[in-house]
Amino acid sequence: MPNALTVIAMAPRGTLLHAPDVYMDKLAIGPGYAKDVVSLDMTPSERVHALAKARGVKGSDITVCILERPRHEDMIAEVRETGAAIRLITDGDVAGVIHTAEAELTGIDMYMGSGGAPEGVLAASALKCMGGQIWGRLLFRNDDEVARARKAGITDLNRIYSRDELVTADVIFAATGVTNGSIVAGVKREPGYLQTETILMRSKTGSVRRMIYRNPIK
Domains defined along the chain, listed by start: 17-167 (3.40.190.90)
Return the ∠ at Cα 78 (arms to 120 and 74), rounded to 5°. 65
The pTM score is 0.92
Tell me what pLDDT residue 90 has: 87
Helix (H) or strand (E) holding 195, with range, is strand 193-202
Tens digits of per-residue pLDDT, 7-43? Answer: 999 999 999 999 999 999 999 999 999 998 999 999 9
User: Helices marked H in the chain — which ranges?
Assistant: 44-55, 73-81, 93-99, 103-106, 117-130, 143-151, 163-166
Tell me what pLDDT residue 2 has: 83
Q: Is the pLDDT of residue 114 over 90?
A: yes
Q: 96 with 25: CB under 8 angstroms?
A: no
Gap between the Cα atoms of 112 and 216, Å rounded: 40
Tell me what pLDDT residue 139 has: 96
pLDDT bin (cut points 50, 70, 90) of residue 91 is: confident
Tell me what pLDDT residue 194 has: 96
Tell me what pLDDT residue 120 has: 96
Q: 66 with 112: CB under 8 angstroms?
A: yes
Tens digits of per-residue pLDDT, 119-163? Answer: 999 999 999 999 999 999 999 999 999 999 999 899 999 999 999
Gap between the Cα atoms of 185 and 80, Å rounded: 31
